[in-house]
Chain A
Amino acid sequence: MGFDQYHEPPEELPERTRTFARLCASLTEEAEAIGWYEQRLAVERDAQASAIMRDALGEEFKHFCMDLEFLLRSTPLWREIARGILFQEGDIVEHGEQSEEHAVEGAAAQGAPLAGSTSLGIGSLRGGAA
């Protein structure tokens, strides 16, 4: 069995990053499976077989959402950007641009840690002191 989810030597990666990479790989696999089931269902003529695959597709939706939620919980900036895009009406690209700008600027103003930093991530404490 390979360890393709790692782009860097696994022994050099902290445990948290290895877990993050595993869940990213899992998310990719669930998305692929959803795509495959959609294609199979599009050509399947047997009603029973279609029902089984629709049931399986529901499982893949659930797995994808659980993986995504885990990744968002462990990445505050990603979660903040997602908050402005997911479940919103209107232009997706516009929401994406606005959400990214807002989240990145907000994080920078609060002294968010640099990428890869092992600091305590304290930054600015303005706004929560009174």
Chain B
Amino acid sequence: MSHLLREHAPITEAVWRLIDEEARERLKPALAARKLVDFSGPHGWERSAANLGRARSLAAAPVEGVSAARRRVLELVELRAPFALAREELRDADRGARDIDLGTLDEAARRIATAENGAVFHGWGEAGIAGIAEASTHEPIALGEDCDRYPRHVARAVEMLLEAGVGGPYGLALGPEPYTRVLETAEHGGYPLLEHLREIIGGPLVWAPGVAGAVLVSQRGGDFVLDVGEDLSIGYDAHDTDSVALYIEESFTFQVLTGEAAVALTL
């Protein structure tokens, strides 16, 4: 039995399949970072740190005539988004109901995906994660609210990467606000702005909850690594007569290897 304790939940295998499938459907559209950065793993729940290949010299060793260095590692962070499902709903699912209320699961999926994106793109100091936007060596570009100018800003960001010798194609993580604006906008002549931006970057343009503004990243590979211990999983916490307490969980860390390979576009 794994630490997720799924076997202890008062949930049938058929309903577990329903819950897992619903979680996948909700998570995948929101997991923007996984669509744009390299993925290492899953390495398992037991993994505690990613190797940085670096060491820090220690001033003194326990014995004279011995030198010492301490290895530096990037510790994994555990994310957990709890939610509760009504047992009556789960019983209805076993009866074959197809309109089960899984709203709390959907909300938990949105929260954890947003947290993962936020850590990757904007960093998380307490978790030791430097985000792509803050690790970028390029001056941020102000995106603003005027959609008509977005192609010009994004083209400028592409140009900055090319000037730095960072090849494409490029991918664009667009925060919910600018994404909605882009989606609703057609340029002169009716050509969708979304398609125009895709042509400029030559790679994926993704909806990225947790991102403020936008981040342009190279898709050549080897510049950004999401290091995953336990991949997103659903576990069991507790239950009473009315509800079952579950959670979505993952462990990961993130590393920017090439700060030149991204440009932040701020709101």
Contact = CB atoms under 8 A, between A and B. Distances in A.
A114 B230 CA distance: 9
A117 B35 contact: no
B20 interface: yes
A125 interface: yes
B27 A120 contact: yes
A122 B28 contact: yes
A124 B42 contact: no
B39 A130 contact: no
B143 interface: no
B115 interface: no
B206 A120 contact: no
A61 to B, nearest CB: 32
Interface residues of A, number: 22
A129 to B, nearest CB: 3
A32 to B, nearest CB: 31
Contact of A130 (B13, B31, B203): B203
Given A15-B13, A129-B35, A122 B24 contact: yes
B171 interface: yes
A106 interface: no
B233 interface: yes
A130 B231 contact: no
A76 interface: no
Given A16-B13, A118-B6, A120-B27, A126 B36 contact: yes
A113 interface: yes
The majority secondary structure among interface residues of chain A is loop
Contacts of B36: 126, 129
A109 B20 CA distance: 23
A58 interface: no
Contacts of A126: 34-39
Nearest to A111: B39
A9 interface: no
Given A111-B228, A125-B31, A126-B34, A118 B2 contact: yes
Interface in A93-130: 109-111, 113-114, 117-126, 128-130
Contacts of B133: none
B198 interface: yes
Nearest to B24: A120
B26 to A, nearest CB: 10
A14 interface: yes
A119 B232 contact: yes
A120 B172 CA distance: 26
Nearest to B219: A126
A119 B35 contact: no
B137 to A, nearest CB: 23
B44 A129 contact: no
Contacts of A110: 39
B13 A111 contact: no
A44 to B, nearest CB: 46
B34 A121 contact: no
A120 B246 CA distance: 14
Contacts of B38: 124, 126
A123 B39 contact: yes
Interface string B31-63: 100111111011010000000000000000000
Interface of A: 12, 14-16, 109-111, 113-114, 117-126, 128-130
Leading 3 A-B pairs by shortest Cβ distance: A129-B35, A124-B39, A129-B204
Given A119-B232, A128-B35, 10 more contacts: A111-B41, A111-B42, A114-B42, A118-B4, A120-B23, A120-B233, A121-B231, A122-B27, A123-B42, A123-B228
